[in-house]
Amino acid sequence: MVHLFAMIRRRFMRAGRDPDAPAPIPLSISDLSPWLDEPQGDGISHLPSHTSPVEVAPHQSWEADTGGRPTPRDEPPGRTRFGNRSPGTRPRRDTRGPPAEPTGDPRPRAAARAFDALASRAHTVKQMRTRLTRAGFEDDVVTDTVARLLELGYLNDGTYADAWVATRREHRLHGEVRLRHDLAQRGVAPETITLAVVDDGEELTRARAAIERRVGSLAGLDREAFSRRLGSFLARRGFRASIVTAVVRDAYASSVDDRDPPGISGDELDAGTDSE
């Protein structure tokens, strides 16, 4: 006990303070009780007579020191600005390792992956093979799965081509050239494409319907610019050259007639201007 107070006395003398002056001691006697042999009671009777009881410095909140901004020490437990870890610590490493490779026959898993794809939209044989290969299945598993889907009727390039042509003709107003190109890109066989893309006699009507909204924006252009822009638009839609030529010629003639005064054709107006 004597050695303990002597240590405290030397501590205050090194700090330049008078140990005999009554001042608060920044150390509670009760905090030293685990290292003392005698029971300490309330922790006050063992103090020197000239000292006052221990005074605890009042707690100063972070609002007074930081202007209302919390510091990392005062932040509540849980998720902080450092994430789920304390400042100055390293993130926890993931020691679980890679997921275990699935075992057993992979064909049921390949079939389940194929049915998930078919639930969203129809697929050609080529598209399904590509999808399963990208999923990591071996070639023999892909071949067996596609053969089973063909056997059950879930894959049918002929039905796919028929539905594709009907939908694109009605809603997109695509021509024969575009339809053939799109089906070939999806792996449909040429003979299947020929059976699906048959001439229904409405190609010219679809081409005229496709340019209805386009012609108004081309009003006022000369023949060359009008033909170039409208012809490029119809070519991108996939119409044949003969259809494009006929539609562009008729559209330009209609636009010229709309600009001429009533009762006077475009040729008559040009002839009158030249005579003057």
CATH number assigned to the domain comprising residue 130: 1.10.10
Determine, yes or no, domain membership for 247.
Answer: yes
Determine, yes or no, domain membership for 56.
Answer: no
The residue out of 10, 32, 51 marking a domain boundary is: 51
Determine, yes or no, domain membership for 241.
Answer: yes
Determine, yes or no, domain membership for 173.
Answer: no
Are the beta carbons of 60 and 42 closer than 8 angstroms? Answer: no
Determine, yes or no, domain membership for 184.
Answer: no
User: pLDDT per position in the chain (276 positions), as tens?
Assistant: 556 666 666 665 655 555 454 444 444 444 444 434 444 444 444 444 454 444 444 545 444 445 555 555 555 555 555 555 566 666 666 666 666 667 788 999 999 999 999 999 999 999 999 999 999 999 999 999 999 999 999 999 999 999 999 999 999 999 999 999 999 999 999 999 999 999 999 999 999 999 998 998 998 899 999 999 999 999 999 999 999 999 999 999 988 776 654 444 445 434 443 443
User: How many domains, the chain?
Assistant: 3
Q: Give the integer Cα–Cα distance in Å for 102 and 151.
A: 27
Are the beta carbons of 85 and 91 closer than 8 angstroms? Answer: yes
Determine, yes or no, domain membership for 175.
Answer: no
Find the domain containing 217 and state its range: 202-260
Q: Give the integer Cα–Cα distance in Å for 105 and 131.
A: 19
Question: In the numeric block, which tokens belong to residue 136?
Answer: 């990591």
pTM, whole model, 2 decimals?
0.57
Q: Give the integer Cα–Cα distance in Å for 86 and 76.
A: 11
Q: Give the integer Cα–Cα distance in Å for 130 and 194.
A: 24
Determine, yes or no, domain membership for 179.
Answer: no
Determine, yes or no, domain membership for 61.
Answer: no
Are the beta carbons of 52 and 24 closer than 8 angstroms? Answer: yes
